[in-house]
Amino acid sequence: MSVILEARNIVRDYHVPGSFLKKAKTVHAVKGVSFQVEKGKTLAIVGESGCGKSTLGRILTLIDPATSGDLLLEGNKVDIAKGDLTPEMRRKVQIVFQNPYGSLNPRQKIGDILTEPLVINTNTPADERRDRAMALLKKVGLEEKHYNRYPHMFSGGQRQRIAIARALMLNPKLLVLDEPVSALDLSVQAQVLNLLADLQDEFQLTYVFISHDLSVVRYIADEVMVMYFGEAVEYGSRDEVFADPKHSYTKTLFAATPRADVESIRARLAKKKAA
Amino acid sequence: MALLEIENLVVEFQTASGPFRAVNGVSMKVHEREVLAIVGESGSGKSVSMLAAMGLLPWTANVTADKLTFNGRDLLAMPANERRKIIGKDIAMIFQEPVASLNPCFTVGFQIEEVLRVHMGLDKSARRKRAIELFQSVGIADPAERLGSYPHQMSGGQCQRVMIAIAIACNPKLLIADEPTTALDVTIQKQILDLLMKLQADHGMGLIMITHNMGVVAETADRVVVQYKGRKMEEADVLTLFENPKSNYTRALLAALPDNATGDRLPTISELFVDDQVEGAAR
Amino acid sequence: MSQAAATSAVSTDPSRRARLAEFWYYFSENRGAVIGLVFFIFLVLVAIFAPLIAPHDPTQQYRDAVLVPPVWQEGGRADFLLGTDAVGRDMLSRLIYGTQFSLFVGVIVTTLSLVVGVVFGVIAGYFRGWVDTAIMRVMDIILAFPSLLLALVLVAILGPGLVNAMIAISLVYQPHFVRLARAAVMSEKSRDYVVAAKVAGASHTRLMFKTILPNCMAPLIVQATLSFSSAILDAAALGFLGMGAQPPTPEWGTMLAEAREFIQSKWWVVTLPGVAILITVLAINLMGDGLRDALDPKLKRS
């Protein structure tokens, strides 16, 4: 199996400039995280707000540079701070955001949103671009008639499908999914998760799935990394992590997740009656 | 006698593209010392029905009901200023976004003391004493010091605790929690839910839990109302609902939980549940 | 929703039609705005068809009819409906031709300050850092002067005339657009769709003007209508002070200045241009208010 993405000791510091009364300080958002993801697999990065998982996601998507550490895409080192980001590299990683209402340009038609990456990066002729956008639109479960509509005419789940289609326009190798289903309703969440699974099979995609929802992670991930205050406190295969969490934070996280099975409801009601 | 009784509640909004019916004939009862969960996805009208019961909707909303009583008193018939006296005192509400529900210009102490002044008529020192007590009861460390903090100096979880303290300040008979933990992390969610359950038991309040999270329902509710597109799909006690759901919609909702996934694919709602009324009718 | 769905079935560009319908719904709720709009359309028509509707040449002097009062007053003549001025020119014709100048000033000044202001504002808001500081300090300096005084100084340097007055007024108005555009860009810049375009490889220029700018237009359009009326007002003021359009141009401010000496004796020579300015500015302001209500989502009711 070939490794698509490798991160070695990624560090990201934010420098908060001081002012009259405050001293300047440095915030360590990501403190030396290393991992690798194989082709066609899903790595889930789990953690609560402020743990640095989204910062890491932006570094992996080559939006922000890492302060130090190496990022390797298919074995090639990329450092956007040095400016050696070629369009070919750019095309390999795409991202899907959490909020489907903010991630589509409200003034662009769906067709323009989908073809924009091709317009910028390639010399594909217009009708070819259109064909490709139409094909992907159908692949993510929408219809041709949606091509000329604006984002505000779609529901959250449909918008997320459009965002996924846009991410796939450039045939990326790696998709960073930053909480892609946490803004969606339960029923829509199931549809989008199924879609993601289908697309992964069909295009041999590699996913980095950022989430705070353990039940979703357990469903979709092959490997799981738990982050806590910028550090990776737990990293292993899904079954290992869920069956036998090593770090105390992971245990807390599992204990806090509400359980929706009949046995735990019975136990709770019994306890309540006893009290 | 039921604490809050709603029969055939209908809420309509006037919008640019004609009237929109957000709640369509919902009936429910909440008894004293009971935790009722209202579950539904976005657009199910679960928040709107509670806001309507409290009279907190904008004037574009048209609220009608066969019966809307709190503690035996008719909420629809009573004048607005009398209704305001009940709301905030006997019925309290907490919201999804704790940081946004607090006024950023004032200290949290000022905000809790204002509630005590308006509804309880306490004097200055009594207000402060009570505020400290309340902060203690919702588990805020250093309550006396924390009274002087502004909302932006506190975390989301702490703000939600402050909101809860304000809500229970007047010993309400009914607390309505509208997605109280949706904006919070899982570990914080656990703490807030535990706190709400403890306060509910200690004060003997009725509690309405509005949520979309089946896990939260399972961990808190006695009885559950399932809503979908403004209509009530099912009402049952929590064990029956999870063990043996009657409506197809509830069954579909439970099956879509990733926890319950058996194979490679999650069953989706549309596969299991056919919406008998076409979308156009409800929207 | 159902209505929007129904229109989408027939029209080819459903969204634009639905959006227009929604816009009109909010705009028409404001009755003043509709009145303003109607009057504005009337003014535009008057300006376009001025040569057809004006009874006389605006600069033609009728030596036999100096200071003739309006037709309904004693001594009024039917061929001069609103009377004549001190050199026997027909007031009505001059007012009709004056519409052309006023609207011309409004359009040119607004376009000029909007375009230049938006370019600077977008650059400042997008790049931040020293570029932002440099642009904004210059704008602060412009704003530090009383606007009419600054325009007056500029016209004094450039030389009096309508074109120079317009340039001066646009320069004075530009900081408002720079500030608005900058603020709007700053709030849009961190939105996910901008990051998404960045991930797709969009260049800075594309991000600034194609991705972000169209989403910042609502406040700018409102500001544009409001400065449209202020521009007319300032141009009239400059004309009145002798620094704007030069006689015998039938510009309203210039007309006022020429008639100054008759303020107490011949009311129509002074009042009519003044009223023309007043109602034009009022109509455009009312329209601007309606636009703001319709375009600003924060003011929209649920």
Q: Which domains does chain A have, with CATH numbers?
A: 3-268 (3.40.50.300)
Residue labelled with tokens 């706190």: B195
Cis peptide before C273 (omega within 30 of 0): no
Instruction: Show which of residues 14-73 on chain C sit within 8 Å of chain A, judged by CB atoms.
Output: 14-15
- Residue B278's CB is within 10 A of a number of other CB atoms, namely 8
Is the separation of the CB atoms in C285 and C230 below 8 Å? no
- Give the three-class secondary structure for B92: strand
Mean pLDDT of A190-209: 92
C1 interface with A at CB cutoff 8 Å: no
Tell me if chain B has a CB within 8 Å of the CB of C190.
Answer: no
Helix axes C217-240, C147-158, angle to 10 degrees: 60
- Considering only CB atoms, which chain A residues are within 8 Å of B216? 258
C175-206 residue pLDDT tens: 999 999 999 999 999 889 999 998 888 889 99
Interface test with C, best of A96, A107, A143, A178 (most C CBs within 10 A): A107
Examine the pLDDT at A59 and tell me if it is beyond 50.
yes
Which residue in A has a C-alpha nearest to residue C4's C-alpha? A153
- Split at pLDDT 50, 70, 90, the class of B281 is very low
Q: What is the pLDDT of residue B272?
A: 61
Query: Which pLDDT band holds residue A22 (cuts at 50, 70, 90)?
Result: confident
**Which tens digit of pLDDT belongs to each residue from B102-129?**
999 999 999 999 888 888 888 889 999 9
Q: Is the pLDDT of residue B223 over 90?
A: yes
User: Does residue B193 sit at the A interface (CB-CB below 8 Å)?
Assistant: yes
Q: A78-92, A179-193, B150-164: which has the minimum mean pLDDT?
A: A78-92
| Domain ranges across chain B | 4-90+212-282
Of C15, C193, C201, the CB nearest to A87: C201
pLDDT at C5 over 50: no
Check C302 against B280: CB less than 8 A apart. no
Which chain B residue has the Cα nearest residue C294?
B16
How high is the pLDDT of residue B57? 84
Residue C10 is predicted with a pLDDT of 37
**Confidence label for A162 from pLDDT (cuts 50, 70 and 90):** very high
Q: What's residue C23's pLDDT?
A: 81
CB contact (8 A) between residue C302 and residue B58? yes
How far CA B165 is from CA of B27, B131, B138, B186, in Å, comes to: 30, 8, 6, 21
Question: Cis (ω within 30 of 0) for the bond into C14?
Answer: no
ipTM of the complex: 0.86
Mind listing the pLDDT tens digit for each residue in B142-178?
888 989 999 988 888 889 999 999 999 888 999 999 9
Interface test with A, best of B34, B44, B185, B260 (most A CBs within 10 A): B185
Question: Regarding the domain delimited by B4-90+212-282, which CATH topology (the fold level of the hierarchy) does it fall under?
Answer: Rossmann fold (3.40.50)
The CA distance from B168 to B149, in Å, is 20
A7 near A60, Cβ under 8 Å? yes
In degrees and rounded to multiples of 5, residue B44 shows phi and psi of -85, -10
Among B11, B17, B48, most C C-beta atoms within 10 A, so best to mutate, is B17
**A201-243 confidence digits (pLDDT tens):** 999 999 999 998 888 998 899 999 999 998 999 999 999 999 9
- Give the per-residue pLDDT at B274: 60
Per-residue confidence (pLDDT) for residue C13, from 0 to 100: 53
Whether B275 shows a pLDDT value over 60: the answer reads: no
What 3-state DSSP class applies to B232?
Answer: strand
Is C302 within 8 Å of chain B by CB?
yes
How much is the average pLDDT of B72-77?
85
pLDDT digits (tens, 9 = 90+) for C232-279: 889 888 988 888 888 888 889 888 888 888 888 888 888 999 999 999
Cβ pair C197:A116 closer than 8 A: yes
pLDDT tens-place string over residues C202-232: 889 999 999 999 888 888 988 898 898 889 8
> Tokens representing C10?
């027939």
Angle between helical axes of C2-10 and C14-28 (0-180°, round to 10): 130
| pLDDT exceeds cutoff 80 at A20 | no
pLDDT of residue C297: 55
pLDDT at A100 over 90: no
The pLDDT value given to residue A49:
84
Q: List the structure tokens of B9.
A: 């509640």
| Band of residue B282 on the pLDDT scale cut at 50, 70, 90 | very low
- pTM over the 0.90 mark: no
pLDDT of residue C15: 61
> Is the predicted pLDDT of residue C36 greater than 90, yes or no?
yes
Dihedral, CA of residue A50, residue A52, residue A58 and residue A62, to nearest 10: 160
**Amino acid making up residue B236:** A
Size of interface B-C (CB pairs under 8 A): 23
Copy the structure tokens of residue B53: 């019961």
CB contact under 8 A, A102 and C13: no
State the average pLDDT for chain C: 86
The model's pLDDT over B194-216, given as tens digits with 9 standing for 90+, comes to 999 999 999 889 999 999 888 89
* Cα–Cα dist B92/B86, whole Å: 9
Grouping H, G, I as helix, E, B as strand and the rest as coil, residue C153 is helix
User: pLDDT band at A270, cuts 50/70/90?
Assistant: confident
Residue A43 pLDDT > 90: yes
Q: Which residues of A touch B (CB under 8 A)?
A: 48-49, 156, 185-191, 193-194, 197, 212, 214-216, 218-220, 252-253, 255-262, 264-266, 268-269, 275
pLDDT digits (tens, 9 = 90+) for A127-148: 999 999 999 999 998 988 889 8
Residue C4 in contact with partner chain A when CB distance is under 8 A: yes
Q: What structural domains does chain C harbor?
A: 26-54+99-299 (1.10.3720.10)
Looking at residue C77, what is its pLDDT? 85
Contact predicate A37/A223, CB 8 Å: yes
Asked if C29 reaches chain B (Cβ–Cβ under 8 Å), the answer is no
Mean pLDDT of A61-81: 87
* C299 pLDDT more than 60: no
Distance from CA of B237 to the nearest CA of C (A): 35
Element (H, E) at B53: helix B46-54
Contact of B224 with chain A, judged by CB distance below 8 Å, is answered with no
Question: Which residues in chain B touch residue A258, judged by CB atoms under 8 angstroms apart?
Answer: 189-190, 193, 213, 215-216, 218-219
Confidence class of residue B271 from pLDDT cuts 50, 70 and 90?
Answer: low
Whether C11 shows a pLDDT value over 50: the answer reads no
B53-62, pLDDT tens digit by residue?
Answer: 888 888 788 8
Chain A residues with CB-CB distance to C199 below 8 A:
61-63, 90, 93-95
For C136-180, how does the pLDDT look when each residue is reduced to its tens digit (9 = 90+)?
Answer: 999 999 999 888 899 999 999 998 888 999 999 999 999 999 999
Q: Which residues in chain C are contacts of A153 at CB distance < 8 A?
A: 4, 8, 14-15
Mean pLDDT of chain B: 86
